[in-house]
């Protein structure tokens, strides 16, 4: 199955049926009077969240949807049949945005949640509605109103409690394989991860959380380089970010420079996302000489001027991973409890998420406009060496 996290859809709700102009014409009914019925209401268009779907790929092949029109009214006071509503299934975690006004119509974050995206037209009135003591033979009717037309943008953001970020080959895929049943591709070369991978981490039989791995970031990602920036928006729903740093890079690079590069790209992409609670995870510490391990890790923290949470692990060897998962679960449960008990904290959290998502949406829109401009320049013969193209059809894996 191809993973597509954005799609443009045109929806058209059904028009309302027209009212009927009719008079009784029966042999033994004198002066029968008006008997035109009302039309039927037009069908509406709804989005419904379905946990069995994890991609928007179907909407790339069919992008236009029209609900049924209401039936016109009929004689003998018969009302027209209402148009049938249509329900479009989307993955849980889909944000629905009006493409013309950029207004957020709604956010589908729970299984079975339903959102109205196209209001059907209202029925027209038959001439029976206009009869009165002074108007015995009304010839007035009304037409049904038009159904709502909308161009909407569907944006899928995976729903996870913990998000992994870091340079390619920092060990993100290895970590998610180590702590969950997910089996993303792992290899000794960069960019083995091309899609978000989700895994359920079960600390106990009844206590678990979802962890998300996105493609690695590189310098210049916030300006469109590489694949990672396209998936950074998925981290907007995460409560905690784990910043993995390879303390023993195979290419001999500086871990501090790599970590700082990720921090800079994060801040340029979304200041709100960069302000999210983030833990620094020093990975592959088992490759360091045991007598120098603490000294090297302390030097990294000092040079980064890191003040937050720090953990030392070896994802491939399982060193420190169980303790990391237990501490993450405790922190997630604490945050959930605080939001349940304090309405103000819950409102602040929702506002913060909205801000992150809006910044991500604005940045991606800006990058899209720049790509269109480069394409137009190439058509006009203007030289452009930037061959960036992040329109990839790739695959998502979600393992429980």
State the pLDDT at residue 393.
42
Check whether residue 217 and residue 110 sit in a common domain.
no
Q: Give the pLDDT of the chain (400 residues) as one tens digit per residue.
A: 456 778 899 999 999 999 999 998 877 777 788 999 999 999 999 999 998 887 888 888 889 999 999 999 999 889 999 999 999 999 888 889 898 888 889 888 889 999 999 999 999 999 999 998 888 889 999 999 999 999 999 988 777 888 888 887 788 888 888 888 767 656 554 555 556 777 888 888 788 888 888 765 555 555 555 554 566 777 777 889 899 998 888 777 888 888 888 888 888 878 888 888 899 999 999 888 888 889 999 999 999 888 889 999 998 888 889 999 999 999 999 988 888 888 898 898 888 888 887 877 777 777 777 777 877 878 777 654 444 444 444 444 444 4
- Asked whether the beta carbons of 356 and 273 are under 8 A apart, the reply is yes
Range of the domain at 167: 162-399
Here the CATH number for the domain that contains residue 334 is: 3.40.50.300
Are residues 150 and 181 both part of a single domain? no
Same domain flag for 151 and 229: no
Domain-ending residue, one of 124, 156, 188: 156
Burial of 229: CB neighbours in 10 Å, binned 0-12, 13-18, 19+: buried
* CATH at 31: 2.70.210.12
Are 102 and 186 part of one and the same domain?
no
- Say if residue 276 is in the same domain as residue 144: no
pLDDT at 150: 93
Same domain for 217 and 366, yes or no, is yes
Residues 251 and 308 in one domain: yes
Collapse the DSSP code of 307 into the 3-class scheme (helix H, G, I; strand E, B; otherwise coil) and give the result: coil
Number of domains in the chain: 2
CA distances from 283 to 293, 319, 321 (A): 12, 9, 10
What local confidence, expressed as pLDDT, does residue 205 receive?
Answer: 74
Residues 23 and 49 in one domain: yes
Which residue has tokens 């950029």? Answer: 102
CB 177 within 8 A of CB 200: no
33 and 75 housed in the same domain: yes
Angle between helix 343-379 and helix 321-341 axes, rounded to 10 deg: 110
pTM check: above 0.75: no
The DSSP string of 334-371 is: HHHHHHHH-HHHHHHHHHHHHHHHHHHHHHHHHHHHHH
Buried b (16+ CB within 10 A) or exposed e, 145-175: bebbebebbbbbbbbbbbbbbbbbbbbbbbb
CA distance 258 to 273: 19
Task: Output DSSP code: residue 288.
Answer: S
């Amino acid at each position: 199955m191809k993973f597509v996290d954005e799609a443009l859809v045109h929806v058209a709700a059904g028009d309302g049926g027209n009212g009927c102009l009719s008079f009784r014409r029966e042999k033994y009914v004198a002066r029968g009077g008006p008997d035109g019925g009302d039309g039927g209401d037009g069908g509406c268009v709804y989005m419904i969240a379905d946990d069995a779907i994890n991609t928007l790929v179907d909407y790339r092949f069919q992008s236009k949807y029209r609900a049924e029109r209401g039936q016109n009214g009929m004689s003998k006071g018969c009302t027209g049949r209402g148009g049938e509503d249509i329900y479009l299934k989307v993955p849980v975690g889909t944000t629905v945005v009006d493409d013309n006004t950029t207004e957020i119509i709604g956010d589908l974050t729970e299984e079975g949640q339903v959102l109205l995206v196209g209001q059907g037209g209202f029925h027209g009135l038959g001439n029976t509605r206009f009869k009165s003591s002074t108007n015995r033979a009304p010839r007035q009717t009304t037409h049904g109103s038009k159904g709502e037309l909308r161009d909407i943008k569907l944006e899928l953001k995976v729903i996870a409690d913990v998000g992994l970020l870091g340079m390619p080959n920092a060990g993100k895929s290895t970590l998610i394989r180590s702590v969950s049943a997910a089996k993303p591709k792992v290899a000794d070369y960069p960019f083995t991860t091309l899609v978000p991978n989700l895994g359920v981490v079960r600390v106990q039989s009844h206590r678990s959380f979802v962890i998300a791995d996105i493609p690695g970031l590189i310098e210049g990602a916030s300006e469109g380089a590489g694949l990672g920036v396209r998936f950074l928006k998925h981290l907007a729903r995460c409560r905690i970010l784990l910043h993995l740093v390879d303390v023993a890079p195979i290419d001999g690079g500086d871990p501090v420079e790599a970590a700082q590069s990720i921090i800079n790209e994060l801040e340029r992409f979304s200041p709100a996302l960069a302000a999210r609670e983030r833990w620094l995870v020093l990975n592959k510490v088992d490759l360091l000489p045991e007598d120098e391990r603490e000294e090297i890790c302390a030097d990294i923290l000092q040079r980064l001027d890191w003040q937050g949470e720090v953990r030392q692990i070896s994802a491939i060897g399982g060193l420190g991973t169980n303790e990391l998962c237990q501490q993450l679960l405790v922190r997630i449960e604490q945050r959930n409890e605080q939001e349940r008990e304090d309405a103000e904290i819950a409102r602040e959290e929702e506002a913060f998420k909205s801000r992150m998502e809006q910044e991500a949406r604005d940045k991606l829109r800006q990058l899209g406009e720049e790509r269109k401009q480069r394409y137009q320049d190439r058509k006009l013969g203007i030289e452009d060496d930037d061959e960036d193209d992040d329109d990839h059809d790739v695959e998502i894996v979600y393992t429980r």
